[in-house]
Structure 1
């Protein structure tokens, strides 16, 4: 087990907190005692998760429609390169998340809509955090995720926008159900 993987697991159990550009620290001992560490709690609420899903649908789904019309060979190569890095780093949640993020950003970039790309870059930390929460709490099992990303890439290459969007939608629903009991509880939670 790599140190990164160990840190990712500790973060998933809320035993450490990571501050980007600063480092990782032991979580507040009081809050750690109040949490049942047998059931990891994500640092994202169900409402936040649903907000991100809706945001992704608004941007990413339209980007997929545009890819069919506008993407060139270099765009597909960038998406495929990110997919290959996901496969290569499927034993390291941190590197896997970076490649996962790059995959989705390359999809947005391939739409050739600069506003979509700039909006995603402005919300990069939120989107990255969302992916990090999903991947860190997957217990190192990325088979479902990899299978879906491979199918998305194939659908895009074959210019099947609706199929690519359906794969993403199914994955979103799968993750919502899979992580339902792990979401952070907040007063504004809503059911999906």
Structure 2
């Protein structure tokens, strides 16, 4: 009985998380579901052995089609985060999830130096491509995110979220879906790393760097964007997070 009650409580947590999803025009609902479920599993919010409600019940609760849910489940299964059987869908055990081929988990436990090197390689390319493709609307979206960052001056957790959204938006603007996926799969480690950076008084420098990146995109100047991104990442290195 206790186990059943536990699963009921976790079901309610799941519903509460998923009902907040508000997909943007750039992202399908199934993608939003996948990202939200993936992050909930990696954070432990949905623990190993958690049994999802049956598809009919879950779809009815979320007011979505079964095809949408199955599209969200498919990449979770490929990442070995869940197991789908005739008897239901459940979260895999930690030992099953920790597979060398599971990049999500490898990234989650990576050293900060590895995350920094990853960012230096990936994000310089993202900035370069984004500057080539940026439109006025793209620039406005980035400006709105910087405004949110400024309002969150004393809140490192919110700053971290808006920072990730800013860099994800750059990846989207680049037009290369692989860039966006690359950032998403290291989100947990990325946000932990950035959170610590903001706690070390990187706020003002980060705002200046983000505004400079926006200016490079406004001018559609890829070389300028690449140089600014390199400098931005160097500033992060200089706060001493890699010791």
* TM-score calculated relative to the size of structure 2: 0.51
Q: Who is 1:36 aligned against?
A: none
* 1:164 Cα deviation from its structure 2 partner: 2.3
Q: Who is 2:131 aligned against?
A: 68
Partners of 2:212 and 2:219 in 1: CA distance: 10
After superposition, give the CA deviation of every residue in 1:115-146 in whole Å (9 maximum; x if it has no partner): 111121122112111111211232xx621111
After superposition, give the CA deviation of every residue in 1:122-180 in whole Å (9 maximum; x if it has no partner): 22112111111211232xx6211111111111112112222222222223223323215
Give the conservation status (yes or no) of the 8 Å contact 2:197–2:239.
no
Q: Who is 1:96 aligned against?
A: 159
Q: Who is 2:172 aligned against?
A: 109
Q: Structure 1 regions of 5+ residues with no counterpart?
A: 1-18, 23-46, 184-192
Partners of 2:171 and 2:239 in 1: CA distance: 26
After superposition, give the CA deviation of every residue in 1:94-125 in whole Å (9 maximum; x if it has no partner): 11111111111111111111111112112211
* TM-score calculated relative to the size of structure 1: 0.63
Aligned residues: CA RMSD: 2.4
1:153 aligns with 2:194: no
Partners of 1:127 and 1:82 in 2: CA distance: 18
Q: Who is 2:203 aligned against?
A: 142
After superposition, give the CA deviation of every residue in 1:35-81 in whole Å (9 maximum; x if it has no partner): xxxxxxxxxxxx93332222122222222222233233332222222
Give the conservation status (yes or no) of the 8 Å contact 1:71–1:112.
no
